[in-house]
Amino acid sequence: MVAFIVRRLIGLVAVLFAISVLVFLIFFATPGVDPSARLAGRNPQPETIAAVKHEFGLDRPLPIRYLLMMQRLFISRDLVSYGNQALKVVPAITEAAPVTFSLVIGAAVLWIVVSILMGLAAVTFKGTVIDPLLMIIALIGISMPVFWVGEMANLITQDRLHDTFLFSWVPPLGYTPFTQDPWQWFLHLIIPWITLSILYIGFYARVLRANMLDIQNEDFVRTARAKGLSPRGVLVRHVLRNSLITFVSLFGLDFAVLVSGGALLTEVVFALPGVGLLTFNALTNLDLPVIMATVIYGAFFITILSALVDILYAQLDPRIRPT
Amino acid sequence: MARVLYGGRASLTIGVISAVLCTLIALALALLAGFFRGFSDTLISRTMDLIWAFPVYLLAISLATVLLTTPNGLKLGPITISPSSLWLPTLIIAVIYVPYVFRPLRGQVLSVREKEYVEAAVSQGASNLRLMFSDILPNVISTAIVLLPLMIATTILTEAALSFLSIGVQPPKASWGTVIGDGQDLLYTRPLVAIVPGIFIVLTVLALNVLGDGVRDALDPRAKVRVRD
């Protein structure tokens, strides 16, 4: 196990290095235009271009440029946005992160609970109309673009039905920090949580159902039945528990993807000032330093989290632990 | 309404072409990696893992912003792709999904390569090319076909998302995603602008997902067993 962890960590360092090189190449070595003009934002002044040239060492060879960029991103953390002079990129990201975490964690709780319930219901009622009905609902959930669902939710709760008793509690778009007013924080996030989780509820319910149907044919399930366990006991204690192995590994990855930028669309639609909205605002002025930083922090976060999930997974399931 | 119909053309073209392109690239790479194994396999698989490590949207965003800020367009040999061309989002979307198609295909090639009929062909003195194209390819192509409708569904959703973020299809061209994006500002006054293209996307993607499930049940024997029990 220790050898496995050590090997996984060495692999992790190699991947982090490769990611940083790839991002560097995308932003600095794509042919067609001088990278300083690209980094300086829309319609830059000549002075800005000269400053960018100097700060990123663009007159020096590639490996040195790479080191300079890494130093500015991770050690001195003083990367500045040129489209938006006052903005220091790295502190802006750390400030926005709690918003994204609030959004994703709430949605994750919602989608875990609902998708497990849906999966269990589909398996229990297999052979009746309830199972295909639930799966069709799940499929529709997968097929809806999240930003469109968000717009529709806004249309209903903010405008058309806002004055009825149903949705009069919905606060205007935006965000209130948890430390300032937990109740307002909760109210502001309910609709975004539901919107974000719909896709994952559909996907996880389908995966869970297929998995549980597979596992129902395994020998140990037959043994459990033969022992005289109640059908519900078999379903929850044996079938569900084994299906959760796949569920956990999928969940780790999806959670990481959402935190590191995948929740972008939801944040944009609901005007939540998280990392995604920061990236979006940078997109609209083509503010490349910000995008570069969010991409690299996002990819790093995912890689580190997925290494942790792998280690946890090996701890949970000895069968896949390589020796 | 006219914009929705017109935009549908862009959405569907980009979705289909990028999914086909992505599957073809993945198929070629999987054949190379699975057939020759050894060094080429390591090289291709590691590169795929690296792309896999990026969240798809972040990778698409960085590629799109970099290429959109390139005024003269991307030069690929003799071909130049201008930033306003529909080819730009198509290529970006095709590239970012290659690893997702590559992984299952490579596994398939590796297992087909060990089959007796491949061994028989080797003993008859078949060349590498012949082995790849007439013995292995026909046996993995069904997996690629199974994945294709699901890939088109995914690429249509991705195109819509990128265009919604203003880094996909560039004005004056339109797609369903850009129309939804325009509709966001008119949401409370003219909600239909946002509602209609969304319904088109949902219906298209839903149909493709149902088709994909059907094709999988028809072509993949393992899945068929699962449906029956």
Residue A84 pLDDT more than 60?
A: no
3-state secondary structure B32-43: HHHHHCHHHHHH
Residue B180 lies in a domain: yes
Beta-ladder partners of A88: A80
Least confident span in A119-123, A315-319, B7-11, B187-191: A315-319
Cβ distance of B54 and A302 shorter than 8 Å: yes
Least confident span in A114-118, A157-161, B169-173: A157-161
For B16, the domain range is: 2-222
Distance of residue A214 Cα from the nearest chain B Cα, in angstroms:
7
Closest chain A residue to B73 measured between Cα atoms?
A32
Residue B228 lies in a domain: no
pLDDT at B15: 86
8 A C-beta contact, residue B164 and residue B64: no
Closest chain A residue to B54 measured between Cα atoms?
A299
Give the other-Cβ count within 10 Å of B223's Cβ. 16
pTM recorded for the entire structure: 0.81
pLDDT at A45: 67
- Tokens 């198609």: give the residue: B101
pLDDT, tens only, B188-208: 777 777 788 888 888 888 888
Residue A15 pLDDT more than 80?
A: yes
Question: Is the CB of B82 inside 8 Å of chain A's CB atoms?
Answer: no
Task: Report which DSSP code applies to A159.
Answer: I
Label residue B24 by pLDDT band (50, 70, 90).
Answer: very high
Residue B48 lies in a domain: yes
Nearest by Cα to A207 from A139, A262, A110: A139
Residue B120, domain CATH: 1.10.3720.10
Domain total of chain B: 1
Query: A278: which 2 tokens?
Result: 């920061």
Per DSSP, the residues of chain B read -HHHHHHHHHHHHHHHHHHHHHHHHHHHHHHHHHHH-HHHHHHHHHHHHHHHHS-HHHHHHHHHHHHHT-TT-EEETTEEE-TTSTHHHHHHHHHHHHHHHHHHHHHHHHHHHTSHHHHHHHHTT--HHHIIIIIIHHHHHHHHHHHHHHHHHHHHHHHHHHHHTTSSSPTTS--HHHHHHHHHHTTTT-THHHHHHHHHHHHHHHHHHHHHHHHHHHH-HHHHHHHH-
Which residue in the set A143, A210, A260 is minimally distant from B202, CB to CB? A143
Task: Tell me the backbone φ, ψ of residue B75, rounded to 5 degrees.
Answer: -105, 120
Question: Is the CB of B186 inside 8 Å of chain A's CB atoms?
Answer: no
Residue B155 lies in a domain: yes
Distance of residue B53 Cα from the nearest chain A Cα, in angstroms:
6
Residue B227 pLDDT more than 50?
A: no
pLDDT at A9: 85
Closest chain B residue to A281 measured between Cα atoms?
B165
Which residue in the set B50, B73, B202 is minimally distant from A22, CB to CB? B50
Residue B227 lies in a domain: no
Q: Which residues contact A255 (CB under 8 A, 6 or more apart)?
A: A104, A108, A305
Nearest by Cα to A258 from A105, A110, A90, A98: A105
Cβ distance of A294 and B201 shorter than 8 Å: no
Residue B229 lies in a domain: no
8 A C-beta contact, residue B214 and residue B202: no
Residue B107 lies in a domain: yes
Cβ distance of B69 and A210 shorter than 8 Å: no
- Tokens 């087909």: give the residue: B112
- How many A-B residue pairs are in contact by the CB < 8 A criterion? 146
Residue A161 pLDDT more than 80?
A: no
Give the other-Cβ count within 10 Å of A244's Cβ. 17
d(CA B53, CA B65): 20
Give the other-Cβ count within 10 Å of A36's Cβ. 21
Label residue A114 by pLDDT band (50, 70, 90).
Answer: very high
Task: Tell me the backbone φ, ψ of residue B101, rounded to 5 degrees.
Answer: -90, -35
pLDDT, tens only, A216-249: 888 888 888 888 888 888 888 888 888 887 787 7
Q: Best of A23, A131, A148, A268 to disrupt the B interface by mutation (most B CBs within 10 Å)? A: A148
